[in-house]
Amino acid sequence: MNIILLGPPGAGKGTQAGMLVEKRGMVQLSTGDMLRAARTSGTAMGKRVADVMDRGELVTDEIVIGLIDEALDGAAASGGVIFDGFPRTLAQADALDELLSGKGLSLDAVIELRVDDEALVERITGRYSCGACGAAYHERSKPTKVEGVCDACGSSELNRRADDNEESLRQRLMEYYKKTSPLVGYYHAKGKLRSVDGLALMGDVEAAIAAALEG
Ligand code: AMP
């Protein structure tokens, strides 16, 4: 089963993708993670996109389509692919259709995580994660038990994303409403869209997604 998780920044796409990976053996393809990895390893592309990402703008369609094209070859043999943060424009959605059909694959469902903007600001401006093991935390709703130390692996390498500040978030939301939200109508018209309440408790969101994937 191949699915897209669609929703604004902070809607919980990464968290829910992680659960699907764990429970269903699916592979998560996050263009945001791929771009951050390119920055960390200092590739020419990583350097090119750094400022754009920090400002909260979208990088070019060409770059992210290329990343997905490459990653799909390795992922196709798994228990299914979760596209997390891709596609974000209609051009990317068209390219994904072509890539999938070219590889003999298809898209089964698009899960839209619906949330309101106030909740997003609260979620995003408080979140941080462990640079060593990836465990996710939140200042108010899920702090580490010992300040500055990861509960899961004991590392003190706790980081915030460079674009998780109010100014970038405002820009990221603007990009979402202008360029990505038209995909809701696009996938609805194709009969693929399932919407779930992204503000429910994490386990309830997970159950709603499982139910949507059955239907
Ligand atoms: P994310 O981790 O999904 O929130 O993505 C972080 C940043 O990476 C975004 O604000 C964009 O600058 C860039 N990015 C990630 N995915 C895409 C995409 N599909 N299209 C364009 N830019 C993207």
Q: What is the pLDDT along the chain (215 residues), one digit of tens a residue?
A: 999 999 999 899 999 999 999 999 899 999 999 999 999 999 999 999 999 999 999 999 999 999 999 999 877 767 799 999 999 999 999 999 999 999 889 999 999 999 988 888 888 889 999 999 989 999 998 999 999 999 999 999 999 998 888 889 889 999 999 999 999 999 999 999 999 999 998 899 999 999 999 87
Residue-level pLDDT at 121: 86
Return the pLDDT at 39. 94
The atom number, within ligand 1, closest to the CA of 88 reads 19
Catalytic, 123? Answer no
- Other CB atoms within 10 A of residue 98 CB: 11
Determine which one of 13, 36, 123, 194 is catalytic.
13
Residue type present at position 162 = A
Q: Is the CB of 53 under 6 A from ligand 1?
A: yes
Amino acid 46: pLDDT: 95
CB atoms under 10 Å from CB of 68, counted, come to: 22
pTM, entire model: 0.91
The pLDDT value given to residue 119:
86
User: Which of 31, 83, 124, when mutated, tests ligand 1's pocket best, judged by the most ligand atoms within 8 Å of its CB?
Assistant: 31
Q: Which of 36, 39, 123, 127 is catalytic?
A: 127
What would the two tokens of residue 69 be?
């094209």
Ligand 1 atom with minimal separation from the 92 CA? 19
Q: Ligand 1 mean position to 74 CA, how many Å?
A: 21
- For residue 73, the model assigns a pLDDT of 85
* Residue of 36, 39, 88, 179 marked catalytic: 88
Supply the pLDDT for residue 117. Answer: 84
- Ligand 1 neighbour 172 (Cβ under 6 A): yes
Query: Known catalytic residue: 88?
Result: yes
150 lines ligand 1 (CB under 6 A): no
Q: Which amino acid residue places its CA nearest to atom 5 of ligand 1?
A: 32
Closest to 149 measured CA to CA, from 158, 141, 136: 158
What is the Cα–Cα distance from 55 to 169, expressed in whole angstroms? 9
